[in-house]
Amino acid sequence: MTTNAHAGHAHHIATDAAHTGNNHAAHGIDADNHSAGHAGHSSGHGGHHASSPGGLQISQDGYTLDLETTIAQPGGIDFRFRILGPDGTAVTEFDAIHDRELHLIVARRELTGFWHVHPRREADGTWVIRLDLPEAGAYRVFTDIAPRALGRTITLGADLAIAGHYAPQPVPAVARVTEVDGYEVTVDGELRAEGDLLTLTVSKNGTPVTDLQPYLAAFGHLVILRTGDLAYIHVHPNGEPGDGVTPSGPEITFHTAVPGPGTYRLFLDFQHHDVVRTAAFTLTTADGVG
């Protein structure tokens, strides 16, 4: 299990044992850092996706993810990057998506490690965050952003290499139940290209958890990544905290539509007793496996 601090909250993730997860808009400016490792947006988010899945391109619609850091040593790194606009200058105006201007997802290419973090934006448009990536390997970074001039959300992706001896890990086996910090999370439903409902149920010590806390304006955040190309989907649950009809657990329901057949890793962020945890699953599509 990997653990890290995030603005007063610990964020824990369930990981593979061999290694030592109605839609709304996506997800700002703080030093939030969740180790692991979220929502219905365009370009690979929620139940709607563009012709190309989110996160596969470093540039889209005139916007480019410009990494200052592309190669680093294992351990803590000061990770810096900019979002360049159509004129080639750093963008400084973004609309908030689920309480943040930018959501940064970092994942190992074999999907055995996952981080959902929120960098700080400096005045010149450079985003900065301290990342702790303890193992050598190939990583992919994703940025969920809604540039104000664009008027909608896009996801850009780029590669990050952590130098050193690299021992690739197999993708964890398909499973519908996982455990993190004594919490058991089960997933019901199927991944389908045409869309379907997934329901994730949270319990602790055999008792359903009915008092989940809102985290970034939702009772759950679900990132789905396809093995092989890391096509990216980030969805938020049906309903909203405080709407009078959405329960605070134990079930969290998402409408999902994946870009095609294959094997996917799912990462669910949820908050209980002021701690954010991430449950990770591997599922294959009901439409067949690529």
170 has a pLDDT exceeding 90: yes
Q: What is the pLDDT of residue 287?
A: 65
Model confidence at 23, pLDDT cuts 50, 70, 90, reads very low
Give this prediction's pTM: 0.83
Q: For tokens 């997802």, what's the residue?
A: 105
124 has a pLDDT exceeding 60: yes
Nearest CA to 107 among 216, 286, 267, 259?
267
Which range, of 26-40, 52-66, 145-159, 174-188, averages the lowest pLDDT? 26-40
128 has a pLDDT exceeding 50: yes
Please, is 234 exposed, middle or buried when counting C-beta atoms within 10 Å of its C-beta (0-12, 13-18, 19+)?
buried
SS3 category, 107 = strand
Residue 243 is encoded by which pair of tokens?
């709407």
Asked whether 192 and 286 are in contact (CB, 8 A), the reply is yes
Nearest CA to 149 among 89, 233, 231, 216?
89
Nearest CA to 281 among 232, 223, 233, 207?
223
Model confidence at 51, pLDDT cuts 50, 70, 90, reads low
> Count of CB atoms within 10 A of residue 67's CB?
16
Residue 287 is encoded by which pair of tokens?
């439409």
Model confidence at 288, pLDDT cuts 50, 70, 90, reads low
Q: What is the pLDDT of residue 125?
A: 97
Rounded Cα distance, 142 and 121, in Å: 16
More confident residue, 77 or 28: 77
36 has a pLDDT exceeding 70: no
Q: What is the pLDDT of residue 184?
A: 97
pLDDT digits (tens, 9 = 90+) for 139-157: 999 999 999 999 999 999 9
Q: For tokens 């409408």, what's the residue?
A: 255
**Domains of the chain, first to last:** 27-162 (2.60.40.10), 177-284 (2.60.40.2480)
Q: In degrees rounded to 5, what are phi and psi of residue 90?
A: -70, 135
Nearest CA to 55 among 133, 165, 143?
143
Q: For tokens 């496996």, what's the residue?
A: 289
Q: What is the pLDDT of residue 239?
A: 81
Cβ partners under 8 Å of residue 101, min gap 6: 28, 29, 94, 95, 121, 145
Angle at the Cα of 39 from the Cα atoms of 211 and 279, rounded to 5 degrees: 55
SS3 category, 132 = strand
Alpha-carbon distance values, 92 to 85, 102, 144, 149 (Å): 9, 11, 14, 10
Nearest CA to 43 among 68, 65, 26?
26
